[in-house]
Amino acid sequence: MDNVRIQAARVHPYRLGLRSPIATAHGLLTERRGFLVELSDESGGVGWGDACPIAGFNMEDLSDCQEALRAGCAGLLQGAVSVASAAANGGRPAAQGALEVALFDLSARQQRQGFAEFFPFETPDPSVDRLPVSGLVVGHDAAEIRSCARTLIGLGHQSLKLKVANRAWSEDRIRIQALVDSLIPGVQIRLDANGGWTEEQARQAFGAFSGWPLELIEQPVAPDNLDAMARLREFGTCPIAADESVVRAADLEKVIESGAADIVVLKPSALGGPTASFEMAAKAIHAGLTVIVTSLLDSVIGVAAASHFAARLPRGRPADGLATGAIFEQDLAPALAIVEGQLAVPEGAGLGLRPDPDALEALRTAPPFEVHS
């Protein structure tokens, strides 16, 4: 692997406002804040990475992320570095992932290769150019949920995801029923509890699932309650996906050993980047688990990187959770296209897209800070 010499590093703080608030068991989301990393080489080439930490995934906060990016960028500027060593520079998963993605992007552009083809690991299948993706249903009440569901079905999504466990089960049940009533044949639903139920509450919910076209339930109980997840899995109502339970490689080992899940949800932006994510994906698949890749509700730069990662995984997996671009009032670049429920993986060298300068200027919350060696 050729080394990359970084000449300059800039970090752009940004804010993305949501079109509608998203209620989760971790709280109400009205915006996403993060940092766009810009690495430049001696010939003027540029690579981009996104660091956008979120609550609930054992990640750094914005302040720690900023300091980790400063330290990581300073380390990169001290001399030639290998792309494969980028994971050692961030110190925090969001920062680490952004630095690795920016290095991969820059290096792939230098060699006129696509981002996925530049990954320093082997995969069994060539990259695909389209990924089936689930649609995220956003809505406070039944009417809003029905409206959103109809829009997503019109885009061709065959899997719709609804966040639950952020209100009383009686209210959630009405919302779920509104979603079910909006479906057409062939469309399934996913429920994401974000660890918000107790085991007793989860059993109550599981008992109501009969007759619903339920594809899976994400993180029904607290991330560290793997024994409860294993018992719920034995309950046999529907497949269980571990999400917040899998934020480190050691976590995955525990999930496998405890039999807590049928599926693991991997968020490359929360796991330290594509290299760490692929190692976890390979281990999960070897253990007989299914892998789903999702965004961190981050910018289109982060989603693009995740899409390239997902495109290298074995085919025939359930739809990935990468159709999140429409939740923002404005993004750093146009959202990735979705056609017939499939997300178009960006083409071209590197990530296949760059931030729009006007959008970046509008969405910055402060002037970019430059990092010097």
Read off the CATH number of the domain in which 8 is found: 3.30.390.10
Q: Which amino acids are annotated catalytic?
A: 161, 267
Residue 262 Cα distances to 214, 227, 233, 258, 291, angstroms: 14, 14, 8, 11, 9
Say yes or no: 61 and 184 in one domain: no
Say yes or no: 49 and 146 in one domain: no
Say yes or no: 160 and 36 in one domain: no
Quote the percentage of the chain above a pLDDT of 70: 94
The average pLDDT across 9-21 equals 97
Quote the percentage of the chain above a pLDDT of 90: 82
pLDDT at residue 81, rounded to an integer: 62
Say yes or no: 298 and 362 in one domain: no
- List pLDDT tens digits, range 204-213: 999 988 889 9
Annotate 258-297 with DSSP letters as a single string.
Answer: HT--SEEEE-HHHHTSHHHHHHHHHHHHHTT-EEEEB--S
pLDDT at residue 1, rounded to an integer: 46
Residue type, 315: R
Query: Does pLDDT of 233 surpass 60?
Result: yes
Say yes or no: 41 and 93 in one domain: yes
The average pLDDT across 314-337 equals 96
pLDDT at residue 117, rounded to an integer: 79
pLDDT at residue 104, rounded to an integer: 93
The average pLDDT across 134-160 equals 96
Query: Does pLDDT of 266 surpass 50?
Result: yes
Query: Does pLDDT of 362 surpass 90?
Result: yes
- List pLDDT tens digits, range 43-92: 999 999 999 999 878 899 999 999 999 988 988 888 746 554 544 544 58
Query: Does pLDDT of 345 surpass 60?
Result: yes
Say yes or no: 103 and 156 in one domain: no
Asked whether residue 349 is assigned to any structural domain, the reply reads no
Asked whether residue 22 is assigned to any structural domain, the reply reads yes
Burial grade of 183 (CB within 10 A; 0-12, 13-18, 19 or more): middle
- Mean pLDDT (the chain) is 92
Q: How far apart are CA 94 and CA 186, in angstroms?
A: 36
Residue 39 Cα distances to 195, 210, 301, angstroms: 37, 52, 14
Say yes or no: 93 and 195 in one domain: no
Query: Does pLDDT of 241 surpass 60?
Result: yes
Query: Does pLDDT of 40 surpass 70?
Result: yes
Say yes or no: 296 and 340 in one domain: yes
Q: What count of other Cβ atoms lies within 10 Å of the Cβ of residue 86?
A: 29
Q: How far apart are CA 240 and CA 65, in angstroms?
A: 31
Say yes or no: 82 and 217 in one domain: no
Query: Does pLDDT of 37 surpass 60?
Result: yes
Domain that holds residue 194: 130-344
Domain count, the chain: 2
pLDDT at residue 146, rounded to an integer: 97
Query: Does pLDDT of 124 surpass 80?
Result: no
- List pLDDT tens digits, range 327-342: 999 999 999 999 999 9
pLDDT at residue 152, rounded to an integer: 97
Say yes or no: 79 and 189 in one domain: no
> For 55, which DSSP code?
T
Asked whether residue 125 is assigned to any structural domain, the reply reads no
Q: What is the CATH number of the domain that holds 181?
A: 3.20.20.120
Asked whether residue 78 is assigned to any structural domain, the reply reads yes
The average pLDDT across 100-117 equals 92
Residue pair 145/182 in contact (Cβ under 8 Å)? The answer is yes
Neighbouring residues of 361: CB distance < 8 A, sequence distance ≥ 6: none
pLDDT at residue 373, rounded to an integer: 62
pLDDT at residue 2, rounded to an integer: 57
- List pLDDT tens digits, range 174-197: 999 999 999 999 999 999 999 999
Residue 268 C-beta-side C-alpha neighbours within 13 Å? 31
- List pLDDT tens digits, range 284-307: 999 999 999 999 999 999 999 999
Say yes or no: 196 and 220 in one domain: yes
At 364, is the pLDDT very low, low, confident or very high (cuts 50, 70, 90)? Answer: very high
